[in-house]
């Protein structure tokens, strides 16, 4: 698979990574561990070198899964994980509970790093993101704590998630930021306003999560789809029956282009992302081998300038309905 550099940092990753959250968390009960280990190793065989996890996914069990799966090939891959939450003992495996709150105090960051290193079965974290900006801790202190971990050889690169352009600049002044991980896809493009220009100016890579709109852009979800109580999409405003019916227009656009290209809507959505900037590396997640193969094939799909123009022109006329998060989760997003 094509490799990409995350900005000017020198960190090289596969053009498409693998988001591992859904294997353990948020989209129903945790999947069979051995099957997921097999899926992660299949991704490595197919050229994926970039794997994303976090302590809060599970909590903890997703890091353990990723660590076990990648231990035999540790030198060939880049593992990203995250800090930034206090975790309640009753925070459950399906994501229905909530973390106790944000916590990016320097001493906590270092505690999380030590615990993550053990769960990941490694002596260094390749990319360590602040999961959400903590308004109670100056970002300069956060960047300083990660800088110390880098100096100690426990972390290689520093990342932020869902951070504003202003916060990115402040952090970058203390410790160069390698990558920003934020939601970005054809149905959530707010990063284009001021965040992406800031990343380009500073030489920072961009790692879009939910590049397939939590499954909606695959075309396999419509207004008749229902989600179980242990699937957090059941609580997302964008996945109400009314919103899904309205948002089908975006999937129809992808489907029409996919038909011309002998591709799938998911492949068009991923190829569109890859075409935006050379320093973008999306991390679609899946729990199914055939979906992994489908997603990875998007890296070989070329969209022409006419294709991209058509997607932009038509999608700009589609008013995507529904907030992406409930209010309590949206409040955790840096503005």
225-248 confidence digits (pLDDT tens): 999 988 999 999 999 999 999 999
Q: What is the DSSP string of 51-75?
A: EE--TTTTTTHHHHHHHHHHGGGGG
For the stretch 34-69, pLDDT in tens is: 999 999 999 999 999 999 999 999 999 999 999 999
Dist. CA 195–CA 335, nearest whole Å: 11
> Hey, what domains does the chain have and what are their CATH numbers?
3-330 (3.20.20.100)
Gap between the terminal Cα atoms of the chain: 35
Q: Where are the alpha helices (DSSP H) in 128-223?
A: 139-151, 165-174, 195-202
Dist. CA 203–CA 14, nearest whole Å: 18
Phi, psi of 105 (to 5 degrees): -65, 140
Q: Which two tokens stand for residue 296?
A: 């990875």
Report which secondary-structure segment, H or E, holds 296. Answer: helix 289-297
Dist. CA 120–CA 64, nearest whole Å: 6
Catalytic annotation, pick one of 27, 57, 129, 184: 57
Cβ burial of 75 (10 Å; 0-12, 13-18, 19+) is: exposed
**Model confidence at 92: pLDDT above 70:** no
Q: Where are the alpha helices (DSSP H) in 46-164?
A: 61-70, 106-119, 139-151
157 is known as an active-site residue: no
The mean per-residue pLDDT over the stretch 264-289 comes to 98
For the stretch 135-184, pLDDT in tens is: 999 999 999 999 999 999 999 999 999 999 999 999 999 999 999 999 99
* Exposure string for 145-183, b = 16+ CB within 10 A, e = fewer: bbebbbeeebbbbbbbbbbbbebbebbbebbbbbbbbbb
**Model confidence at 97: pLDDT above 80:** no
How long is the chain?
A: 335
Could you tell me which of 44, 47, 114 has the C-alpha nearest to residue 81?
114
**Model confidence at 93: pLDDT above 60:** no
**Model confidence at 24: pLDDT above 90:** yes
Q: Is 121 left (phi over 0), alpha (psi -120 to 50) or beta?
A: left
pTM of the model: 0.96
């Amino acid at each position: 698979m094509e490799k990409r550099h995350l900005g000017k940092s020198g960190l090289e990753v596969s053009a498409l990574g693998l988001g591992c959250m859904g294997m353990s968390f948020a989209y129903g009960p945790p999947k069979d561990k051995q099957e997921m280990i097999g899926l992660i190793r299949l991704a490595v065989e197919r050229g994926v070198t970039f794997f994303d996890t976090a302590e809060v996914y599970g909590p903890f069990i997703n890091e353990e899964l990723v660590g076990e799966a990648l231990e035999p090939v540790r030198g060939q891959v880049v593992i990203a994980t995250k800090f930034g939450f206090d975790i309640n003992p009753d925070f459950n495996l399906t994501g229905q509970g909530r973390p106790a709150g944000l916590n990016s105090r320097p001493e906590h960051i270092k505690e999380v790093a030590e615990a993550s290193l053990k769960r990941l079965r490694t002596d260094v974290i390749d990319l360590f993101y602040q999961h959400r900006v903590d308004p109670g801790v100056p970002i300069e202190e956060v960047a300083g704590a990660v800088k110390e971990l880098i100096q100690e050889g426990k972390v290689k690169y520093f990342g932020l998630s869902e951070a504003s352009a202003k916060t990115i600049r402040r952090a970058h002044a203390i410790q160069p930021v390698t990558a920003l991980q934020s939601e970005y896809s054809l149905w959530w493009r707010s990063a284009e306003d001021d965040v992406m220009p800031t990343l380009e100016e500073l030489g920072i890579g961009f790692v879009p999560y939910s590049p397939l709109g939590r499954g909606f852009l695959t075309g396999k979800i419509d207004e008749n789809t229902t989600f179980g109580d242990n699937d957090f999409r059941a609580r997302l405003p964008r996945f109400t029956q009314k919103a899904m019916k309205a948002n089908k227009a975006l999937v129809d656009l992808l489907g029409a282009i996919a038909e011309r290209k002998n591709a799938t809507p998911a492949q068009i959505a991923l190829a569109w992302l890859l075409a935006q900037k050379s320093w973008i590396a999306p991390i679609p997640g899946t729990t199914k081998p055939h979906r992994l193969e489908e997603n990875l094939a998007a890296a070989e799909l070329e969209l022409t300038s006419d294709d991209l123009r058509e997607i932009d022109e038509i999608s700009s006329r589609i008013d995507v309905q529904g907030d992406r998060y409930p209010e309590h989760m949206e409040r955790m997003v840096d503005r």
